[in-house]
Amino acid sequence: MSGLGRGLAGSIPGLARAPPHWYEVYVQPCIAELLGSTLFIFIACCSVIENVESTGRLQPALAHGLALGLNIAFLGNISGGHFNPAVSLAAWLIGGLNIVLLLPYWVAQMCGGAIGAALAKAMTAGERYVNATGGAFSAITSDEQIPAAIVGEIVMTLFLVLAVCMGAINEKTKTPLAPFCIGFTVTADILAGGAVSGACMNPARAFGPALVANYWDYHWLYWVGPMVASLIAGLLLRLLIGGREIRLFLK
C-alpha cells in the first residue's frame, strides 16, 4: 500500500488498517530482546571488569543505568524494552505482555546475557577478567549474608519493576521519560545496595557471566529475589495502584 493509501486507511471511518505482520508481533520483539540484552550485559560486565578502584560503585552504576536507559529508548517500541526476565514476568502479570511471548522473551534474554558476557570476555584483559570473575556476582561469600542479600534483591528489584510498570505500561502514569527513569532506578539501586548483594535485579544479568566464567556461587539468589519482587509488583498493581485497565477491583 502506498503512503497515500495508508493515510486514507487511517482517516476514513470503516476502512480498516492491515493487521500487523506475524513477524512484527512474534519474532521481531524476541530479536529486540536478544539484541538489547546482549548490548546491556556486555556494557554491564565490562564496567565491572574494567572498574577503576578510585571510582568505587559509581562506574558500574552509571554504566548499567545509562546502557539500560538507552536500550529501552531505541528498542522499547519493538519489544517493550524488558531485557530482564523479572520485568517480563511482571509485565505479563499486569496484562502488558502476551503469555505466548513470555517464554521466548526469557530464552532471548538468557541467550543475550550469555552472548554479552562472552563478548566482554573477548574484549577485556585476562587478569582483570579473572579478578572480577567475569562480571559475575561475587558479593556473597557466606551463608550469613543470604538474608540481607535476599531482602536487598527483592526491594531493589521491586523498585526497578515498579519503575517499568508504572512508567511504561500503566496508562495513568505512563511517561515518555520512562527509559531514563528506569535507567536512573538501576543506577540508584547499585549505588545503594551494590555492596550488599551486588544489586543484580536481573536473572539474565546474573546468568550470562556466571555461564561464561563458570562461577555459580549463590547464583540461585539472583533468581529468587527478582522473581519474588515481580510477584509483589504484580499484586500491587492488580490490587492497589494500577489504573482501571489493570486493577481487578474497585474500578
Domain extents in the chain: 22-240
- Does position 74 have pLDDT exceeding 50, yes or no? yes
Question: Per-residue pLDDT averaged across 213-232, rounded?
Answer: 98
Would you call 26 exposed, middle or buried from its count of C-beta atoms within 10 A (0-12, 13-18, 19+)? middle
How far apart CA 85 and CA 197 sit, in angstroms, is 18
- Give the count of beta carbons closer than 10 Å to the beta carbon of residue 18: 9
pLDDT band at 86 (very low <50, low <70, confident <90, very high): very high
Q: Which sign does the torsion angle of CA 175, 178, 184, 187 carry?
A: positive
Cell representation of residue 206? 546474573
Nearest residue to 59 (alpha-carbon basis) of 170, 247, 248, 190: 190
- Does position 174 have pLDDT exceeding 90, yes or no? yes
Amino acid 9: pLDDT: 44
Amino acid 23: pLDDT: 97
Question: Per-residue pLDDT averaged across 51-59, rounded?
Answer: 82
Residue 54: C-alpha distances to residues 50, 51, 67, 151, 244 (Å): 12, 9, 21, 28, 48
* Tens digits of residue pLDDT in 110-138: 999 999 999 999 999 889 999 999 999 99
* Tens digits of residue pLDDT in 143-153: 999 999 999 99
Residue 62: C-alpha distances to residues 43, 48, 71, 130, 147 (Å): 11, 11, 14, 22, 27
- Does position 67 have pLDDT exceeding 90, yes or no? yes
- Give the count of beta carbons closer than 10 Å to the beta carbon of residue 98: 13
How far apart CA 21 and CA 27 sit, in angstroms, is 10
12-17: list long-range contacts, CB under 8 Å, 24+ apart.
none
Query: In CATH terms, is domain 22-240 a member of 3.40.50.970?
Result: no
